[in-house]
Amino acid sequence: MELHRILGALRMNDLDPALCWAHTHAVKLREMNSSLEFKLHRLKFINLIKEGPSAQLAALYYSKNFEKFADQHARDIQILMGSLLFLRHGIQNSSYRHLLSTIYWDEICDIFTRDACTLMGMSMESPLSVSIKAGCIALPPLLNIKQVMQQRQVSGVWSNKDELPVEIELGTDFRYHSVFACPILRQQSTDTNPPMRLICGHVISKDALTKLSSGSK
């Protein structure tokens, strides 16, 4: 609900709710190497220079918000500050007129949606859409392996309903978080059963390690 409320405000060219949200989640956004907060401040600055010479002082004061982004966005900040020289003649009549493009508003909506969904561990698309797309990618290899099994009359090999007979790569678009499955017990790791690295370099689950270490070997 909060995501849609802020997104609705951005579509109405209201940056304040998004800026407040970005400030609240600033630490996590920095860990993600997100450019959201800087681009929100950039749009706020652009809104000020649109007002012309009367807003020059307000724009200068607001530019202090760019200080913490100087290392990552130095070139963008230089362009924004250079635009102040053309306030009297109008930004739209200068080489900085690209700053007034509506594409920045479309971009900020996409960036906010992506980063907010990432922080919530959600996909930008609906779960139903993701499931259908993943199913369409997975079906051809499954149909191929079924045909091979029928031809070789080994259909009984695949008896485990919880495990696929082949590894299916869905690609990076369907990768939302890392998943480790124990190669011995074939179970997905959890907080209580985390991955454990052996001296030899192999990684197995804690449960598998416990079972191996309690045996005679």
* Beta strands 195-197; 203-205: pairing state: antiparallel
For residue 204, pLDDT beyond 90: yes
Domain that holds residue 201: 178-217
pLDDT value of residue 17: 93
Q: Choose from 18-22, 53-57, 147-151 the range with maximum mean pLDDT.
A: 18-22
Instruction: Determine the Cα–Cα distance for residues 64 and 23; give it in Å rounded to an integer.
Output: 15
Of the candidates 75, 81, 108, 116, the one whose C-alpha atom is nearest the C-alpha of residue 96 is 81
For residue 152, pLDDT beyond 90: no
For residue 159, pLDDT beyond 80: no
| Same-domain pairing of 97 and 189 | no
Q: What value does the mean pLDDT of the chain take?
A: 86
Contact 32, 111 (CB under 8 A): no
Q: Is residue 56 part of a domain?
A: yes
Task: Name every residue whose Cβ is closer than 8 Å to that of residue 26 and which is 6 or more positions away in sequence.
Answer: 37
Q: With pLDDT > 70 as the criterion, what percentage of the chain qualifies?
A: 92
Last residue of a domain, one of 97, 119, 141: 119
pLDDT in tens, 184-200: 887 888 889 999 999 99
Last residue of a domain, one of 68, 94, 119: 119
For residue 162, pLDDT beyond 80: no
| Same-domain pairing of 103 and 185 | no
Task: Return the structure tokens found at 36.
Answer: 């959201």
- In the chain, the number of structural domains is 2
pLDDT value of residue 203: 93
Q: 30 falls in which pLDDT band (50, 70, 90)?
A: confident
Mean pLDDT for 74-86 is 89
Q: Is residue 160 part of a domain?
A: no
| Same-domain pairing of 85 and 184 | no
Q: Is residue 31 part of a domain?
A: yes
Instruction: Determine the Cα–Cα distance for residues 93 and 87; give it in Å rounded to an integer.
Output: 10
| Same-domain pairing of 8 and 114 | yes
pLDDT value of residue 216: 67
pLDDT in tens, 107-150: 999 999 989 988 887 777 788 888 899 899 989 988 888 888 77
For residue 65, pLDDT beyond 80: yes
Mean pLDDT for 139-166 is 74
pLDDT value of residue 8: 93
Q: Is residue 145 part of a domain?
A: no
Q: How far is CA 48 from CA 12, 53, 55, 182, in A?
A: 16, 10, 6, 56
